[in-house]
Chains A and B, each alone.
Chain A
Amino acid sequence: QKEVEQNSGPLSVPEGAIASLNCTYSDRVSQSFFWYRQYSGKSPELIMSIYSNGDKEDGRFTAQLNKASQYVSLLIRDSQPSDSATYLCAVLAPGNQFYFGTGTSLTVIP
């Protein structure tokens, strides 16, 4: 079983819609969760971190964490074509190693 799993997509949403990206993880003791955005040919860029159960909002982005279900998600409201990228979920495991999902490709259609 992979430590972090994401649907590879591609996920397509129309401009202005809400994009929902999901991630599950296998290690129950994980405490830190991150979302990175990676444009094609570029390096990953940190967009959100979440450490506690519930929602965390930052502008158009909302991260949601449910530790009981081992589930973390990212919602992008009012999606823009510039949001088209691959979104990577990362989970900090014991031993200070991050495990990354393989990423979900998002395309926002104008």
Chain B
Amino acid sequence: NAGVTQTPKFRILKIGQSMTLQCTQDMNHNYMYWYRQDPGMGLKLIYYSVGAGITDKGEVPNGYNVSRSTTEDFPLRLELAAPSQTSVYFCASSSGQGRGYTFGSGTRLTVV
């Protein structure tokens, strides 16, 4: 049982480059989330989805985009990378509102 799988685990981007962080889950969860975690700042919600075709902004959506074409996949797109996007990114899923999350292993992104 793979749970939530994120790729890549590490990435270095140059300022202005773009990339997609991949996230897939095999638990048939409708709810999926993207968070970023900065040292001493806690987890901040970027985007979330309550089902295929439905996405919504979280607390810190600027500079990011998402799509949810299937229940399993929830990719996060970074356009025009900036140093402020240097962070650890976590994808998570849950079986419903108010349920605990299962997190992926994270992507450590550095923008230079």
Q: Which residues of A contact B106 (CB under 8 A)?
A: 42-43
Question: Per-position contact with B for A16-36: 1 when CB-CB < 8 Å, else 0?
Answer: 000000000000000110101
Note all chain B residues with C-beta closer than 8 A to A98: 33, 45, 101
Q: Which residues does B use to contact A, with CB under 8 Å? A: 31, 33, 35, 40-43, 45, 48, 50, 58-59, 90, 97-98, 100-106
A interface secondary structure, majority:
strand
A-B contact count (CB 8 A): 48
Which range holds the interface residue count of chain A? 20 to 34
B-facing mask of A67-110, CB < 8 A → 1, else 0? 00000000000000000000010001000111011110000000
Contact B43 A88, beta carbon cutoff 8 Å: yes
Give which listed residue, A42, A43, A46, contacts B100 with CB less than 8 A. Answer: A46
Chain A interface residues (CB < 8 Å from chain B) = 4, 8, 31-32, 34, 36, 42-46, 49, 51, 88, 92, 96-98, 100-103
